[in-house]
Each structure stands twice: as C-alpha cells, then as structure tokens.
Amino acid sequence: MRAAAEHGHPQAALRAPAVALANVTKTYPGGVRALDDVSITVERGMFLAVMGPSGSGKSTLMHCAAGLDTPTSGNVAIDGIAIGGLNETRRTELRRARVGFVFQSYNLVPSLSVVDNITLPLRLAGTAPDRDWVRLLVERVGLADRLERRPAELSGGQQQRAAIARALVTRPAVVFGDEPTGALDLRTAREVLDLLRDLVDGLGQTVVMVTHDPAAAARADQVLVMADGRVVETLEKRSAADLAHHITSLSPPDGPATVPSPDGPATRRTTFPPPDGPATRRTAFPPPDGSATRRTAFPPPDGSATRRTAFPPPDGSATRRTAFPPPDGSATRRPTLETE
C-alpha cells in the first residue's frame, strides 16, 4: 500500500520514501502472528494514521517500522536505509538521527528546562543545537515564552508540544506518534492535532500516528485500518464518523484476540463470550454449571457459608462473636464481678 507523494512537498517524490515495509511478518513465541505479510510505503510529507481494534497489530507495526523491534521476516527501510542488517548500535544511531517519537506520556525530564528537554537528543548525540532551527520549532509549537520553565510548570498540552518539538529537533525523516492525544482533553487534543497538521503542511514533515480516536485519524491524509495483523483497508480523507463506522464494523476474529509481548504471547482481550468456548479473563457469574469461580453466593444453596458465617447461625453456635450475656447465664468475654 502506498501513501501518495502528492500530499507532501513537490520534491518529496524525488527522494527515497520516509518509511517502507516489504512483506513484513512478526511472529512471537507460541505462534502468535502479530503482523502478517504487511507491505506499506510512506512517502515524505505524508500524515498517515493507523487504526484498528485492540490486538490488530497497530503497535507492532509502528515498532517494526521505527526499528524498535525486529520482524521475523520481510524488510524495513527508514529514509532509504535498510535496517535489517544493522547491529543494535547502528540501529540506535539511525533512530536517534532519523526517527522522532511522540508518546501518550510526554517523557520530559522534570529537572530540565523546556529548551533543554527539546535539545536533549542533540546533546546525547554530541551534536550542537542549530539555534535557528530550535527557534523556529519553539515558535511553531507556541513555547517561545516558556523556554526556561520546568515541565511541572506547563499544562498537559504544553508538555506535549515540548515533546513534539523534541521529536523534530534532529530533523527526522519520520515522526511516529503513539496515541499522542490520548492523555489530553478535547480542546488540547485539537490544538496538538492542529500542530501536527501544520508541521506536515508547513515543514513537509512525515508523521505516522497510531490512534484509537477517529477524530484524530480524520486529520491525516490517509488512514490504514488493521485487523488480525493485516492492513484491511486504506481510506483517504474520511470524516471521524465514517472512520468510527469502519472500525466498529470490522468482524470479530474467529477466536480469542491476543497481543504478543516481547517475551511471549500475552492474552490481552478475549472475546466475551468467545465463539469457541469459555472466556479466559472473566468467568460468567453465576456460571452455567452453578459453580461460582469468583464469589460464592451468600447464603449458598447447600446452607454452608464460605466467606462469612451467618450470625446467629441456625444451630445456635456463634463462630465470630459470642452473644453477651449468653443464653445459659455464663459470661464468655468478661466475668461477673461480685462484691462481698
């Protein structure tokens, strides 16, 4: 699937694509296939959104495309550089120089000022900041008057703006956003999306954004819809309502939906009730066979009490507290004090 070059600057098509995946498959231990023969090309100056139900492979796609994870088979290229043959050191250097990241959590260093947070990737790489570029970025993100403040002195939207500027300070070939508006209120989320759209249109920046939010995806030039590890639809310039309809209309999988983790398969969400049998995360209560796996009915049908004994119990005994004074005249808690 190809992202159209005409969405970006005219010169974008003359250079290698920002990101290219060819027949990428990712299989985790246990046979869980998170990506199934995915091929996409993201041209420069493109704003691409990736949507899909939980467990569809969105995050795995982003991790493989950004060089954070290694596919089982297939090829990935960033800015024309094939990353499959790179060792971890070279891969890290490539990400640092050519890839920017914006996450739901801002990941700013609390002890650093805004400007020091923005320029941190350059300092880690041993590169002197380009003052003109930094000045342009902070003006674009609207933080020119807050450069010496600490993250705790900023609103959530301002912190995300600082994180976006930090992602752009190395002039990356592509910026990956993992739910960049997920922790923001509606108004602030709209402002951040406006900023991303402006960076694409004004600076020719390439943005790939993974999101569950149809309103966020509607700001992109193109939307990839994923299910079961495959790209099942490619949508151009759709409304939020239309995107929401496409996501909700996706057929559920034939079996439990699983999302792998790096150390093995991790069941994240099981269809409830699943079509092929019991649910693995929550047992129906009361279950069909009359048993209770999470909480025992009180009082239970057989008269026993598994969590708390009725007081007073039917046989007259007291298991938690003895009545005072007891029926037989004795005192079990405090003896009667008699005086002569």
In SS3 terms, 315-338 reads as CCCCCCCCCCCCCCCCCCCCCCCC
What is the pLDDT confidence band of residue 138, given thresholds at 50, 70 and 90? very high
Around Cβ 259, how many Cβ atoms within 10 Å?
Answer: 19
Tokens linked to 57: 């492979």
**In the β-sheet with 99-103, what is the strand arrangement from edge to edge?**
99-103, 174-178, 207-210, 47-51, 222-227, 230-236
pLDDT digits (tens, 9 = 90+) for 39-69: 999 999 999 999 998 889 999 999 999 999 9
Give the pLDDT of residue 292: 46
Q: What is the pTM of this model?
A: 0.69
Share of the chain above pLDDT 70, in %: 69
**Is residue 81 pLDDT above 70, yes or no?**
yes
Q: Pick the more confident residue, 236 or 286.
A: 236
Domains and CATH numbers, the chain: 5-251 (3.40.50.300), 283-320 (no CATH)
**Which residue type occupies 189?**
A
User: How much is the pLDDT for 314?
Assistant: 55
- pLDDT recorded at residue 282: 42
End-to-end CA separation in angstroms for the chain = 102
pLDDT tens per residue across span 269-319: 333 344 444 444 444 444 445 444 444 444 555 555 444 444 555 555 554
In this predicted model, which residue has the larger pLDDT, 323 or 144?
A: 144
The vertex-120 CA angle with 115 and 124, nearest 5°, equals 155
Confidence label for 122 from pLDDT (cuts 50, 70 and 90): very high
Q: What is the dihedral of CA 186, 189, 190, 191, to 10 degrees?
A: 130
